[in-house]
Structure formats: structure tokens, C-alpha cells
């Protein structure tokens, strides 16, 4: 097995605890499901939120899913002019036998624009 990373991003409708929790949990569940990740094989999860999302910690939303032993870290995303607003990004590090090319990154609710290299077009 080797340590791999899977990325994901999702937009949040508004800066509220409920919306941050809903979006974070939806994205993480999709990342886990699509990549068939077992919780025991997760090394760590890194979450970021844009500066306009400060109603609560996305990592706390993950803790509410029962993830007590997995190391989690939240940070504020860089504030870039013309950056997409209200975005939560997640990076899950996990042990797997999958190749790098077999990893299915998840970009939901308009965030595919953040990765034109993966979803068509060039940046």
C-alpha cells in the first residue's frame, strides 16, 4: 500500500453553520464513496474554507460524522482576487493499492471550474 491523496471542493450557499456542515459532510461522503475508502485507512484530512465562510469549522462537521480518531486540520484558503466565493476544499490522505490515475477527485456544485486541467479546458 501507498499513501495517496484525493481532492474535493464544494460551494456553500450561505455562511451558516448548517450550510457549512451540510456541504462538508456531503462532499466528504462523496469522496469516500467514489474512492471506496475505509475509514481505518485514512491517515489525515485537511480542510480549507474561503475567508467568507466563518460561521463554524468544517472539521467540526467531520467530527459530527463520528470521525473521532482521524487527524483533522482546518485552515483558511488564500484570498485571491476573482477567486470563487464560499468554497470548502478537502484533501484526504489514505492508504491504498490504487494507482494515482485511479483516484476520483470530487468537485461539486460548480467547483469543477477550479480544475479545468481535470474537467476540460486549460488554465
Does 34 qualify as catalytic in the annotation?
no
Considering only CA atoms, which of 6, 28, 9, 3 is closest in space to residue 77?
9
Q: Which of 4, 19, 86, 107 is catalytic?
A: 107
Does 26 qualify as catalytic in the annotation?
no
Q: Which of 4, 19, 77, 86 is catalytic?
A: 77
Does 86 qualify as catalytic in the annotation?
no
Does 17 qualify as catalytic in the annotation?
no
Does 107 qualify as catalytic in the annotation?
yes
Does 77 qualify as catalytic in the annotation?
yes
Residue 97, judged by CB atoms within 10 A of its CB (0-12, 13-18, 19+), counts as exposed
Q: Which of 4, 19, 74, 86 is catalytic?
A: 74
Does 40 qualify as catalytic in the annotation?
no
Catalytic residues: 7, 63, 74, 77, 89, 107, 115
Amino acid at each position: 500500500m501507498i499513501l495517496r491523496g484525493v481532492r474535493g471542493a464544494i460551494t456553500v450557499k450561505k455562511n451558516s453553520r448548517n450550510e457549512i456542515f451540510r456541504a462538508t459532510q456531503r462532499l466528504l461522503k462523496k469522496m469516500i464513496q467514489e474512492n471506496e475508502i475505509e475509514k481505518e485507512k485514512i491517515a489525515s484530512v485537511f480542510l480549507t474554507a474561503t475567508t467568507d465562510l466563518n460561521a463554524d469549522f468544517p472539521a467540526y462537521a467531520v467530527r459530527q460524522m463520528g470521525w473521532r480518531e482521524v487527524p483533522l486540520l482546518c485552515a483558511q484558503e488564500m484570498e485571491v482576487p476573482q477567486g470563487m466565493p464560499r468554497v470548502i476544499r478537502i484533501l484526504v490522505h489514505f492508504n491504498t493499492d490504487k494507482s494515482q490515475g485511479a483516484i476520483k477527485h470530487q468537485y461539486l456544485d460548480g467547483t469543477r471550474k477550479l480544475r479545468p486541467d481535470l474537467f476540460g479546458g486549460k488554465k
